[in-house]
Amino acid sequence: MSDLASVKVVVYGLVQGVFFRDFTSRKAGELGVSGYVRNLPGDRAVEVRAEGERARLEKLISHLRTGPPRAVVEKVDVSWSEYHGDYADFNIRYSSNQ
């Protein structure tokens, strides 16, 4: 059986307005993980919630620590939790109410 997990990642820095959500969505798709990415209120943080095989999630987190070319990642908070199968695919959320 594979090692399934869920993770919440909050990335701080110059991460809004630099295609960070699109970058994250593409990387998640390549890795086959599900969940979402969204901007948090203000202009200095992006939240990622993802589920899948732990090794694939760790690769996603590694990409998030760098981000796309114009991003400046200052801090990354990672919180692991149990896998629940809450997401069918990975998508970009455009408001905090989704």
pLDDT tens across 11-26, in order?
999 999 999 999 999 9
4: nearest Cα among 60, 57, 78, 63: 57
Active site residue 97: no
> Domain map of the chain by residue range?
4-83
Class level of CATH domain 4-83: alpha beta
List the single range of 5-9, 18-22, 52-56, 92-96 with lowest mean pLDDT: 92-96
Which one from 38, 39, 49, 56 is the annotated catalytic residue? Answer: 39
Q: How far apart are CA 56 and CA 47, in angstroms?
A: 18
What pLDDT does residue 27 have?
98
* Pair type for strands 72-81 and 45-53: unpaired
Tell me the pTM: 0.93
pLDDT at position 1 is 47
Instruction: Give the distance, in angstroms, between the CA of residue 30 and the centroid of all CA atoms in the same chain.
Output: 13
Q: For residue 79, give Cα distances in angstroms to 5, 19, 48, 49, 95.
A: 11, 23, 11, 10, 22
From the candidates 21, 38, 49, 56, give the one annotated as an active-site residue.
Answer: 21
The average confidence (pLDDT) of the chain is 94
Q: Which amino acid is at 31?
A: L
